[in-house]
A and B are shown apart, each in its own frame.
Chain A
């Protein structure tokens, strides 16, 4: 019964969101305030009903109702509760419902916070959101309905891919979708701006924090996926340049560019058409990602079960929204008043270079991801594009971006004098070169290790130096503290995020340059020594989990001057899906990660293949990403970046 209610709510929202699109659009056409105002009610209503619909599906999963086809296919009564819940979005149908839930949530939030925006603008925004929602809900209802009942209910579910039963992955889709779908808000704002034909301060003031919020969620979402890949896939890597990963990375690159270009649009009243284009492109990448993951046009380790009819439907959605938006852009963008030209050596000049780099980076990833499709079409041969391509083209693009990142915040707006900052650049440069040289000399690193570590130091030192200069020098310590406390939070946010990038770069460089791999057969009682750490293989026990049985290896880890610790890598067997998985055991601290995987047993369980990876500073990768996300959140709490920005003048113009 509850399932039918959820199904009914979903169908109802299809109509309501269509009204949310149609009525305000008519209102704008015929200049009727009451028609325009209806968009608020429909936005709240859609969200409430989708929420009900979503919870009915959660209920079916939690109670293991195997008369629902989706639950029977993807769940199992013995699964732990958290994985029953995360199972809701662990499949194509349920994840789309989550997608729509988040979309309507954002619409409702925009409606709630945008009450004081010019009515025409906000109702066009909500109308666009309504159109996206109705397109996706019809997609769910007609091709991927999660509420279909089975004619003959199953007694037990078929289980759920055990490799997906992980806490990081359980919360990964909600964060990722909060990012993906968050970009729909800036997309709708751009469409509204193009329709109104005017990009004013209030528009920019809205776009910036909403981009930021989507960016923060996207950052966390991608990191969670990567963290899962690291802990679960069992070879010590955390990024594979797989099409599905790239699908989430492209919107992130576009959103990062958007984040920076909106600063220029806000401060200097220029670069508006470009900002609008980026907002369109960023959301289009989200849609493209959806298409790649769900249509099966590309082979990926972790795509959903694909179905060509669904692929065609999503392609139509992509063409409709992206094509439509770009058509509108082509027609209207030339009418937007563009601001004055500016000096290449200025803050805005540096931000433009940042934008060029990030746009090229997104284009590079796009090209690499879709290259197999292009080649297949052109000369009918099959190729695969692997990490060598991405590493060869992506890293050279990021090097100038990081070089620029350290000193562009030191440049002043409009026109900067190089003499003013030359001294600081040289100082930071020398310090980082010296520090890097010492480190690379001691630990015997390669040229690429040198470059990576140098960039990290350069960015950290540059950011700290810039922060100190911003507060002021030649003042007493007390005054310094007082002044720095009075700095806006967005200044802290920026510095923290940039330092996060630096920590990330150092983590990536050091963990790959000084990584040690050992792969060898091992018998109980054997000993492996890796970088002065002694590993003793003590025993193998049998253990039982909630829905698996496992062989658990016991390894004693001995380090000089430290207490011994134990690591327990497992080989799990999931009876429900008849699958074996390896659960790596990881010893993790700020200096290194020790990662061990117990492989297949050889010679009748006497010995096993063992893989050990020693990756120094690997945790810095996650730490860097956390700093970036925290920097974003800190900026969001800045008063001038409130999500519901309005000014008195603008609220007086509401009914204009």
Chain B
């Protein structure tokens, strides 16, 4: 075996470690990505309409003048399914307006989920290639943002909202900014 070939693995590994170092040193804990947008106004996001559902755009969120949630979800995302029932509960029992961003999803699958498991969303928009969600700083699905009455982002929740998160984080924050 030629020597140059046998040093290829070393070179690859070396490049890999550079990325690891960067990630370790720059981003100390990615699960607490401090959203740069916290306490700033909601950025402009342009979403597409999903079937007959009311389209989510920045204007109809700002017109509400009450605290609301933005939930980024996908039909292929398992934690979203777990979260779904709590979104339903929040919209039905606590009358919270939830704006949905359907992230990198198939239209049919998305509609299917809403038809079969219920629709917790006040308005919804499709982000087919995931680029609009990047404006929000979305790392993965599901993610949820709390928006106050003035349209500022107040809190960011990474991962599914379970019962515990709903009762101990989301609802208290929503109450505190009412």
B1 x A273 contact (CB < 8 A): yes
B2 at the interface (CB under 8 A from A): yes
- Known A306-B29, A383-B130; contact A599-B6, beta-carbon cutoff 8 A: no
A600 x B140 contact (CB < 8 A): no
Partner of A330, one of B3, B19, B30: B3
Which residues of B line the A interface, CB within 8 A?
Answer: 1-3, 6-7, 9-10, 13-14, 16-17, 19-24, 27-31, 33, 74, 76-79, 81-82, 85-86, 88-89, 92-93, 104, 116-118, 130, 134, 137-141, 158-159, 162-164
- Known A298-B30, A330-B6, A600-B86; contact A580-B22, beta-carbon cutoff 8 A: no
Chain B residues with Cβ under 8 A from A333's Cβ? 1, 6
Partner of B140, one of A336, A381, A384: A384
A312→B13 CA distance, assembly (Å): 16
A386 x B17 contact (CB < 8 A): no
A298→B19 CA distance, assembly (Å): 12
Chain A residues with Cβ under 8 A from B163's Cβ? 580, 600
Chain A residues with Cβ under 8 A from B85's Cβ? 599-600, 609
- In residues 267-322 of chain A, which contact B (Cβ within 8 Å)? 273, 277, 280-281, 284, 291, 295-299, 301, 306, 308, 311-312, 315, 318-319, 322
A315 x B81 contact (CB < 8 A): no
A386 x B1 contact (CB < 8 A): no
Chain A residues with Cβ under 8 A from B159's Cβ? 299, 301
B82 x A374 contact (CB < 8 A): no
Partner of B9, one of A291, A329, A370, A386: A329
Chain A residues with Cβ under 8 A from B3's Cβ? 330, 334
A387 at the interface (CB under 8 A from B): yes
Chain B residues with Cβ under 8 A from A374's Cβ? 19
Chain B residues with Cβ under 8 A from A377's Cβ? 19, 22-23
A334 x B14 contact (CB < 8 A): no
**Per-position contact with B for A545-585: 1 when CB-CB < 8 Å, else 0?**
00000000000000000000000000000000011100000
B79 x A329 contact (CB < 8 A): no
A326 x B138 contact (CB < 8 A): no
A323 x B76 contact (CB < 8 A): no
Chain A residues with Cβ under 8 A from B79's Cβ? 301
A295 x B9 contact (CB < 8 A): no
- Which has the most chain A C-beta neighbours within 10 Å: B78, B158, B163? B78
Partner of A384, one of B7, B13, B141: B141
**Per-position contact with B for A367-380: 1 when CB-CB < 8 Å, else 0?**
00010111011000
A373 x B139 contact (CB < 8 A): no
B116 x A234 contact (CB < 8 A): no
- In residues 329-366 of chain A, which contact B (Cβ within 8 Å)? 329-330, 333-334, 336, 338
* CB proximity of B25 to chain A, nearest CB, Å: 8
- Which has the most chain B C-beta neighbours within 10 Å: A306, A334, A338, A384? A384
Which residue of chain A has its CB nearest to the CB of B14? A323
A388→B129 CA distance, assembly (Å): 13
- Which has the most chain A C-beta neighbours within 10 Å: B13, B14, B33? B13
- Known A299-B140, A322-B13, A326-B10; contact A311-B76, beta-carbon cutoff 8 A: no
Partner of B7, one of A299, A319, A330: A330
A200 at the interface (CB under 8 A from B): no
A400→B16 CA distance, assembly (Å): 29
A388→B162 CA distance, assembly (Å): 24
A296 x B30 contact (CB < 8 A): yes
A315 x B21 contact (CB < 8 A): yes
Partner of A519, one of B10, B13, B33, B116: B116
A338 x B1 contact (CB < 8 A): yes
- Known A376-B27, A384-B139; contact A281-B9, beta-carbon cutoff 8 A: yes
Chain B residues with Cβ under 8 A from A386's Cβ? 74, 76-77, 104, 140-141
Chain B residues with Cβ under 8 A from A327's Cβ? 10
A235 at the interface (CB under 8 A from B): yes
Partner of A329, one of B6, B33, B89, B118: B6
* CB proximity of B135 to chain A, nearest CB, Å: 10
A11 at the interface (CB under 8 A from B): no
* CB proximity of B40 to chain A, nearest CB, Å: 17
Which residue of chain A has its CB nearest to the CB of B29? A296
Which residue of chain A has its CB nearest to the CB of B133? A382
- Known A299-B140, A382-B139; contact A273-B19, beta-carbon cutoff 8 A: no
A-B contact pairs, 10 of them (CB 8 A): A297-B24, A299-B31, A299-B139, A334-B2, A384-B141, A386-B74, A386-B77, A599-B85, A600-B85, A602-B88
Chain B residues with Cβ under 8 A from A384's Cβ? 139-141
Chain B residues with Cβ under 8 A from A284's Cβ? 13
B82 x A233 contact (CB < 8 A): yes
A4 at the interface (CB under 8 A from B): no
* CB proximity of A572 to chain B, nearest CB, Å: 11
B78 x A323 contact (CB < 8 A): no
A381→B23 CA distance, assembly (Å): 13
A237 x B140 contact (CB < 8 A): no
- Which has the most chain B C-beta neighbours within 10 Å: A297, A315, A322, A609? A297
Which residue of chain A has its CB nearest to the CB of B113? A519
A312→B28 CA distance, assembly (Å): 11
* CB proximity of A127 to chain B, nearest CB, Å: 22
* CB proximity of A293 to chain B, nearest CB, Å: 13
Which residue of chain A has its CB nearest to the CB of B164? A579
A8 at the interface (CB under 8 A from B): no
B19 x A299 contact (CB < 8 A): no
B24 x A602 contact (CB < 8 A): no
- Additional pairs, 9, CB under 8 Å, beyond known A326-B9, A329-B10: A277-B6, A299-B139, A299-B140, A308-B28, A382-B140, A383-B130, A519-B117, A519-B118, A600-B86
A153→B64 CA distance, assembly (Å): 52
* CB proximity of B156 to chain A, nearest CB, Å: 12
Partner of A315, one of B1, B7, B17, B28: B17
- Known A306-B29, A333-B1, A386-B76; contact A323-B117, beta-carbon cutoff 8 A: no
A354→B21 CA distance, assembly (Å): 33
